[in-house]
Structure 1
Amino acid sequence: MFDKELFEKHLATSWLGRSFYFFEELPSTNSYAKKIKDMGSLHGAVVLTDHQTGGRGQYDRKWHTSAGENLTFSLIFEPQKAERFSLLTLACALSITEVINEMCGIPAVLKWPNDILHDGKKLSGILTETLFLGNHLERVVVGIGLNVYQTEFEGNLSDQASSLKLEAKADCPREELLANILQKIEYRYRLWNQHNAKLVKEINKVMIGFGEWKSLKVNGENLQGKYKFLGVNEAGELLALNKDLDLKTFAYEQVRVV
């Protein structure tokens, strides 16, 4: 069982995670975070469950998780503008990779657009969703799943996924992991909110394929030829050069780096 008191003991943030909703079981932390009502601001609230029974990834793919073994949680943000959410997703992913490396000794990397890998296997995934009231952005919900203690995965996931327990050189308690992740994300949210160019540089350094000639798949179809992957820009768009050195930009939803 997740130890809330131990988590609070380690938490060193100013605002992120200070409002904390814990459930032993939930279908989806993202779904709950989108529906929750409060008279005041929910900015910085965190929803965590010890067992997520209906977790979702991109394109409504199921996120399978074992009870009491992983971190499945959602962050609620209330930014002023409805823009650059793909960059916010990557900022959260970067923060997780740093904690994994520092606490567990695992050199994790980012896979565009929202996965964290080690040695080709997925450790963590992120699903960012928005909630609007008419034309007004009410909140952004960043859902995160991190495989911590799980050692067995269903079907072909055994070849595609791994966990900190399987890969780590040290024990990585979930409560301390979450506290450290939130501290990193709080810092990177500030950079994101300030349009600080440092954030983009930090993200690109740990992106798989950065600076390499790669194949691109757009809307499910392979583009002809190779493209030099230049990472992302400050708008969160993917940048690539074709063989004629023409710079191409792609939206988050369009492109995959193969």
Structure 2
Amino acid sequence: MREDILNLLKNTDDFISGQKISDKLNVSRTSIWKYINGLKEEGYKIESVSRKGYKLISSPDVLTYEEIKDLLKTDYIGKKIFHYDTIDSTNTRAKELVSKGEGEGTIVISEEQTLGKGRLGRQWQSPKGKGIWMSIILKPDINPVDASKITQIGAASVWEAISKIGLKPYIKWPNDIILNSKKVSGTLTEMSGELNQINYVVIGIGINVNAEAEDFSEEVKPIATSIKAVLGKKVSRKHLVADILNKFEVLYNDFLSSGSISKSIEICRKGSKIIDKEVRLISRGTEEKVKVIDVTEDGELLVKDVNGNIKKIISGEISVRGLEGYI
């Protein structure tokens, strides 16, 4: 009922009377009043005028399905969204939901995470209402060894969406999005599968959208930023979510049909921060200086070591750092 009333308000340019809502939805005027008050508490600005009814003035920047659906151009990605005010981890919740039968394209999104996950076991700071913390449930019919390629699809989708705002982001292989040499977004891909079959893939995307400097810990401040900090103004999170999901479905469908992520790799190359640069590869306490040559069609990092040997690096245990800092 809440959704029905909200849709009526959104699709009416002027006031709509309580009686008209009552007649359309077959619900009492008292119930309508309660739902309207509930929407106001959620942040919807609704004007109430005697003998005129109700008029929606503005909607809050919340990441519910009702706020995102009209911006989506997808066939299945994002057509079902589980929205939470606070959650431990969207990836954890997505894995719980898929075990209960939730299908491909289902999104888990939260205004806040208390135990957000990053790569290599790191925690991702997720301040309430200031970022995008979401996970996408996927069930691709592909070889399990190709599951990691979906990370590149996620990175390419986020890069395209942030570029659309008018900023110039970069990609630090395999999944970090960089603004002004600081991290603004990361992607974490987790898979459940067997030797020759994938049960599901969950791709988690975290983006610092409207976070302030004080939202980052002292440890993170030197390497993290937000879109707002760089752009100088707040950004609509729901438009950014929709742009990411719209692009993701196009690239993901191409991967499923062609077996190639070449379109995503083309974007990742165009936005790369490390191609033709010397970097440090860090793995299990060891460190190696290499020059990055390219990203392969399979999403591997092609590097040349100090002895001139060319080798391919697979994402996972490897972390890439600049010679004198994060990048």
Q: TM-score under structure 2 normalisation?
A: 0.72
| Contact 1:207–1:231, Cα closer than 8 Å, also in 2 | no
Q: Which moved more, 1:190-199 or 1:84-93?
A: 190-199
1:183 to 238, 246, 252: 246
What is aligned with 1:46?
107
Aligned-residue offset at 1:21: 1.0
What is aligned with 2:48?
none
RMSD of Structure 2 on Structure 1 (CA): 2.2
| Contact 1:232–1:239, Cα closer than 8 Å, also in 2 | yes
Query: Percent of pairs identical after alignment?
Result: 30
| Contact 2:130–2:210, Cα closer than 8 Å, also in 1 | yes
What is aligned with 1:75?
136
Alignment of 1:208 with 2:270, yes or no, is no
| Contact 1:34–1:131, Cα closer than 8 Å, also in 2 | no
1:87 to 149, 154, 163: 149
| Contact 1:191–1:199, Cα closer than 8 Å, also in 2 | no
Alpha-carbon spacing, 1:108–1:6, altered in 2? closer, same or farther (3 Å): same
Aligned-residue offset at 1:228: 2.9
* Pairing 1:50-199 to 2, within 5 Å after superposition: 50-81=111-142, 82-103=144-165, 105-132=166-193, 136-151=197-212, 152=214, 153-168=216-231, 171-193=234-256, 194=258, 195-199=260-264
1:217 to 282, 285, 291: 282
- After superposition, the C-alpha distances for 1:14-56 in whole angstroms (9 at most, x for unaligned) are 1110121111111111001111147766111111011111111
Aligned-residue offset at 1:3: 4.8
Q: Separation in 2 of the partners of 1:214 and 1:39? A: 43
Structure 2 counterpart SS, 1:167? helix
| Contact 2:151–2:175, Cα closer than 8 Å, also in 1 | yes
- After superposition, the C-alpha distances for 1:49-79 in whole angstroms (9 at most, x for unaligned) are 1111111112221111111111100001111
What is aligned with 2:88?
27
Q: Separation in 2 of the partners of 1:50 and 1:30? A: 14
Q: How many residues align?
A: 255
Q: Give the partner amino acid of 1:157.
A: V
Alpha-carbon spacing, 1:168–1:256, altered in 2? closer, same or farther (3 Å): same
Aligned-residue offset at 1:112: 1.7
Structure with higher RCO (Cα < 8 A, 6+ apart): 1
- After superposition, the C-alpha distances for 1:189-238 in whole angstroms (9 at most, x for unaligned) are 12332215333222122122112343433443122xx5331232232222
Alpha-carbon spacing, 1:106–1:138, altered in 2? closer, same or farther (3 Å): same
Larger Rg: 1 or 2? 2
| Contact 1:85–1:236, Cα closer than 8 Å, also in 2 | no
Q: Separation in 1 of the partners of 2:233 and 2:129? A: 19
Q: Give the partner amino acid of 1:189.
A: Y
Q: Separation in 2 of the partners of 1:169 and 1:101? A: 15
Q: Give the partner amino acid of 1:202.
A: I
Q: Give the partner amino acid of 1:84.
A: D
Structure 2 spans left out of the alignment, 5+ residues:
1-60, 322-327
